[in-house]
DNA sequence: CTGAAAGCGCTTACAG
DNA sequence: CTGAAAGCGCTTACAG
C-alpha cells in the first residue's frame, strides 16, 4: 500500500482534496453522485483515512483509554472484553492501559491520552481514585470511573450497589440456616471493597450476629490468610463471604489443601460473577455484577457528558447466583 | 494544558523549532548547553512531544498491536501483561486488539495498525495463522507470531516445544505409576494445540499404551465433555492430561460435580502454568510455558527483523510444575 | 455544492 | 551546530 493519501484519491476521482474529505466525514455536505463516485474510487484503491492525520487536525480522536490495574485479574479482563465490543459498536478503539497498581503509570497514561486527543477515558480503579490527579489534566474532566468517587461529583461513575450485594449474600446464607458467617476482604484499596466490608459489618450487627473478619488485607493473598485464620479457630463460622470471586477461589483452594471441603464443611460465597466461577471446584455461588452493562453504561455516560456536560452516577443492581459452593451448615 | 506545541517551546527557549525537535529526538546533534536549556524550558512548561504528529511525519510510530483472540482467557491475559511491560521497557506502547476469534477483525486491526504506522505487530493466534492474510499487508512481513506457522518461513515465531511438554507430563505420570492416561484436547484450532495432541498420540504409542482421547473438541467445553466421557467409561484412565490449564479446570470442576475427586480418584495435569492454577482446588500440576520470556522474545524478534531482515524461529523449553492435582493411582 | 488556502504538531534534508 | 523551508495526511472556515 504505497502512499495512499487523500490527494491521490482526489486526483483519481478528479475532485479537490477537500471534497474527498467531505465525502467521508460529512457525506450530506456533498452531492450524492459526487460522493458515490469518490467512495467508489477510494474503495477501488483500497483507501482509508488516516486516523492519525484526522486526530491531529480535528484535535479529537476515537481512541479511548481503559485504565485497569491488572488485566490478569478476570474481573478487569471481562470488563475489557465487553468494553472493547461496546467501543467498537460506537466507532471507538479501546486502548487498554495496565498500571500494575502504579499511580505514576496512571498519570503517564493520562498525558499520553491527552496527547492522542482521546475524547474521554474510562478508569477502573484498584485504589481510591485520586481526584487531584484527575484534576491535573483537562482530561480529568472527561473520565468516567467504575467505582464510587469521594469528594468530586464532577466525574461520572458506574457502580454496583455493594450493600445490596452483601445483603443478598447474607440472606442466602441465613436462609440456608447459617448463623455464623465470616468475611474475607478483597482488594481493599477501592471504595467498592470498603463498601462491601462496611455493609458486612453493619448488616451482621443488625441481624444480631457477631461479625468474624477472617482477613482484611488488600492483596491477593487475603484468601490464603483468611483460610489460615479459619483453620486456627476453635469455633469457625459455618459460612464465608469473600469480597470477590478471586479471593473466594483462594479461600477454597487453601481450605482444600487442609482437607476442609466446600460446601460440606463450610459454605463459601463470592462477589463478582466471573465466568470462571462456573468452572471452579466446586462451582462458585456468588453475587453477580452486571459487568457488560457497566461497560456499556460507562461509555454512554462519557458520551453524554461530552454532549451536554451532564454528570451521572449510576448504581446497578447485583444479583444472587446460586451454584455449588453453598449449602446448609453441617448438622 | 493549552496548545503546548513545539513552537511555543521554541519561542520560550529562544531557538528555532527544528532545534527543539533535535534536542528531543537526536540529542547528540545539538550543543549540550542548548539542549539542556531547551529541555529545562520544556520541562518547566510541562511539554511533551505529540506522538501523533511524530508518527505522521516520521511514518513510523511506537504503537505496537498485540492481537489476541480473547483477553478473558488467562493465558492471553498473562501474555498481555508481560508484553505490556516488555513494550514499555523499550519505549513502545502496546495496543491490545481482541478479535473474539473473528478473522475479519484481525484484518481490520492490521489495516488500522498500518494506518497508525506501527513498526510491527504481535499475533497470538486462536486459529491457524492465515499466511495469505498476512501477505495482503505490507504489515504482514513485520509480524511475529506466537505459534508455529506453516508454509511461510518469512514470519518470525516463538513457541514452546509441545512434544517436550507432553513428554514431561507423560513421564511425570508414568513415574507416579500411571499406565492408563487419557487426554482432553484444547482450543484445537492452533498448530500448538495440534502439536500437543499429536505428541500425546505418538508418545503413548511409543510407550506401548493405548491412547484414550476423552475429547478432541476445540472449545472451552472440551473439559466438560471430556469429564462426561470419563464418567461414562467402564475402565477409565487413572490420569488425564489436559491440553491447557483452562481445560484442566473444567475437567476437575465437572468431575467434582459427580463426586470424582482429584487426585484421589484420578490425577489431572494441565499445560500452560497459569498463575491461577496455584489457587485452584486442588492446586494444579501443569507444564509451565515461559510466558514472560515469550513476550520479551517476540518483541526482540520483531526488532531484529526490522533491523537486519533476519527471521528467527525460537522454540522454548517447557517445565514440569508439580502441585497437588497429581498423585499415584488408587491402589 | 466545490475549490483554494491555511494550519494541526512535528521532522528532515538543505544551507550556512 | 542552528535556522528556514517543505511536507506528513488530513479538516475547516472562507469564497464562489
CATH number at residue A101: 3.40.50.2300
Q: Which nucleotide is nearest to A25 (CA to C1')?
A: D11
Do both B153 and B114 map to the same domain?
Answer: yes
Chain C nucleotides covered by protein, CB below 7 Å: 1-5, 7-13
Alpha-carbon distances of B311 from B90, B154, B298, B300, B304, rounded to whole Å: 20, 6, 11, 11, 8
Instruction: Give me the residue label for grid cell 488500522.
Output: B112
Average pLDDT of the residues in A35-58:
94
User: Nearest residue to nucleotide C5 when comparing alpha carbons to its C1'?
Assistant: A18
Do both B10 and B88 map to the same domain?
Answer: no
pLDDT value of position B142? 81
Q: Flag whether B325 is in a domain.
A: no
Do both B237 and B215 map to the same domain?
Answer: yes
Total domain count for chain A? 3
Whether pLDDT at A130 is above 80: no
Task: Answer whether A252 sits within 8 Å of B281, measured CB to CB.
Answer: yes
Q: Flag whether B331 is in a domain.
A: no
Do both A215 and A241 map to the same domain?
Answer: yes
Q: Flag whether B133 is in a domain.
A: yes
Give B-chain residues touching A84 at CB under 8 angstroms. Answer: 71, 98
Do both A168 and A286 map to the same domain?
Answer: yes
Q: Note the pLDDT tens digit of each residue in A230-248.
A: 999 999 999 999 999 999 9
Q: Flag whether A106 is in a domain.
A: yes
Give A-chain residues touching B70 at CB under 8 angstroms. Answer: 81
pLDDT value of position B264? 96
Do both B178 and B278 map to the same domain?
Answer: yes
Chain D nucleotides covered by protein, CB below 7 Å: 1-5, 7-13
Task: Answer whether B256 sits within 8 Å of A281, measured CB to CB.
Answer: yes
Q: Flag whether B322 is in a domain.
A: no
Do both A179 and A279 map to the same domain?
Answer: yes
Task: Answer whether B137 sits within 8 Å of A1, measured CB to CB.
Answer: yes
Average pLDDT of the residues in A217-224:
81
Give A-chain residues touching B281 at CB under 8 angstroms. Answer: 249, 252-253, 256, 262, 280-281
For the segment 22-81 of chain B, residues whose CB is within 7 A of strand D: 22, 29-32, 34-35, 53, 56-57, 59
pLDDT value of position B138? 59
Cell of B322: 508439580
A133-142, A165-174, A191-200: segment of lowest average pLDDT: A133-142
Strand stretches in chain B, DSSP E: 63-68, 93-98, 121-123, 143-145, 157-160, 181-184, 212-215, 239-242, 267-272, 285-288, 313-316, 319-321
A102-111, A278-287, B165-174: segment of lowest average pLDDT: A102-111
- Rounded to a whole number of angstroms, the distance from the CA of A80 to the nearest CA of chain B is 8
Are the C-beta atoms of B212 and B182 separated by less than 8 Å?
yes
Do both A36 and A89 map to the same domain?
Answer: no
Do both A298 and A266 map to the same domain?
Answer: no
Alpha-carbon distances of A50 from A15, A17, A177, B11, B138, rounded to whole Å: 19, 14, 63, 30, 16
Do both B155 and B295 map to the same domain?
Answer: yes
Give A-chain residues touching B77 at CB under 8 angstroms. Answer: 71-72, 74, 77
pLDDT value of position A1? 42
User: Nearest residue to nucleotide C2 when comparing alpha carbons to its C1'?
Assistant: A19
Cell of A11: 486526483
- Rounded to a whole number of angstroms, the distance from the CA of A317 to the nearest CA of chain B is 23
- CB contacts < 8 A, A to B, total 130
Do both A283 and A295 map to the same domain?
Answer: no
Q: Flag whether A270 is in a domain.
A: yes
Nearest to B279 among A56, A115, A249 (CB): A249
Query: What CATH number has the domain bearing residue A13?
Result: 1.10.260
* DSSP sequence for A88-121: HHTT-EEEEEE-TT-HHHHHHHHHHHHHTT-S-E
Are the C-beta atoms of A271 and A186 separated by less than 8 Å?
yes
For residue A267, give the DSSP letter: E
Do both B127 and B117 map to the same domain?
Answer: yes
pLDDT value of position A155? 87
Range of the domain at A104: 59-159+291-316
pLDDT value of position B1? 42
Nearest Cα residue in chain B from A93: B97
A56-60, A69-73, A113-117: segment of lowest average pLDDT: A113-117
Give B-chain residues touching A138 at CB under 8 angstroms. Answer: 1
| Residue B153 φ then ψ, to 5° | -80, -5
pLDDT value of position A131? 65
Q: Is B204 helix (H, G, I), strand (E, B) or coil?
A: helix
Mutate to test the interface with A, among B279, B292, B323 (most CBs of A within 10 A): B279
Residues in chain B where the model's pLDDT stays below 70:
1-2, 128-141, 187-188, 218, 331
Mutate to test the interface with B, among A43, A55, A77 (most CBs of B within 10 A): A77
Q: Flag whether B327 is in a domain.
A: no
Q: Flag whether A136 is in a domain.
A: yes
Nearest by Cα to A77 from B267, B75, B326, B189: B75
pLDDT value of position B83? 93
Nearest to B53 among A1, A56, A71 (CB): A56
Cell of A175: 436462609
Amino acid at each position: 500500500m504505497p502512499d495512499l493519501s487523500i490527494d491521490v484519491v482526489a486526483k483519481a476521482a478528479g475532485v479537490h482534496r477537500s471534497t474527498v474529505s467531505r465525502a467521508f466525514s460529512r457525506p450530506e455536505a456533498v452531492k450524492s453522485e459526487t460522493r458515490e463516485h469518490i467512495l467508489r474510487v477510494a474503495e477501488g484503491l483500497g483507501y482509508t483515512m488516516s486516523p492519525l492525520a484526522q486526530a491531529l487536525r480535528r484535535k479529537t480522536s476515537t481512541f479511548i483509554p481503559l485504565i485497569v490495574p491488572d488485566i490478569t485479574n478476570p474481573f478487569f479482563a471481562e470488563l475489557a472484553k465487553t468494553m472493547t465490543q461496546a467501543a467498537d459498536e460506537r466507532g471507538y478503539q479501546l486502548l487498554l492501559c495496565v498500571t500494575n497498581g502504579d499511580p505514576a503509570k496512571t498519570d503517564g497514561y493520562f498525558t499520553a491520552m491527552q496527547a492522542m486527543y482521546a475524547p474521554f477515558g474510562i478508569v477502573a480503579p484498584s485504589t481510591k481514585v485520586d481526584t487531584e490527579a484527575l484534576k491535573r489534566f483537562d482530561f480529568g474532566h472527561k473520565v468516567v470511573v467504575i467505582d464510587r468517587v469521594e469528594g468530586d461529583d464532577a466525574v461520572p461513575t458506574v457502580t454496583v450497589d455493594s450493600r445490596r450485594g452483601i445483603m443478598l449474600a447474607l440472606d442466602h446464607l441465613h436462609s440456608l440456616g447459617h448463623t455464623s458467617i465470616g468475611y474475607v476482604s478483597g482488594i481493599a484499596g477501592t471504595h467498592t471493597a470498603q463498601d462491601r466490608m462496611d455493609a458486612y459489618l453493619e448488616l451482621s450487627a443488625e441481624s444480631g450476629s457477631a461479625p468474624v473478619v477472617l482477613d482484611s488485607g488488600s492483596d491477593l493473598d487475603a484468601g490464603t490468610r483468611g483460610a489460615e485464620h479459619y483453620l486456627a479457630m476453635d469455633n469457625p463460622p459455618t459460612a464465608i463471604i469473600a469480597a470477590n470471586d478471586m479471593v473466594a477461589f483462594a479461600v477454597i483452594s487453601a481450605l482444600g489443601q487442609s482437607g476442609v471441603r466446600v460446601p460440606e464443611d463450610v459454605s463459601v460465597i463470592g462477589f463478582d460473577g466471573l465466568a470462571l466461577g462456573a468452572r471452579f471446584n466446586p462451582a462458585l455461588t456468588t453475587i453477580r455484577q452486571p459487568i457488560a452493562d457497566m461497560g456499556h453504561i460507562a461509555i454512554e455516560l462519557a458520551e453524554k457528558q461530552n454532549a451536554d456536560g451532564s454528570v451521572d452516577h449510576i448504581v446497578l443492581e447485583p444479583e444472587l447466583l446460586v451454584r455449588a459452593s453453598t449449602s446448609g451448615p453441617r448438622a
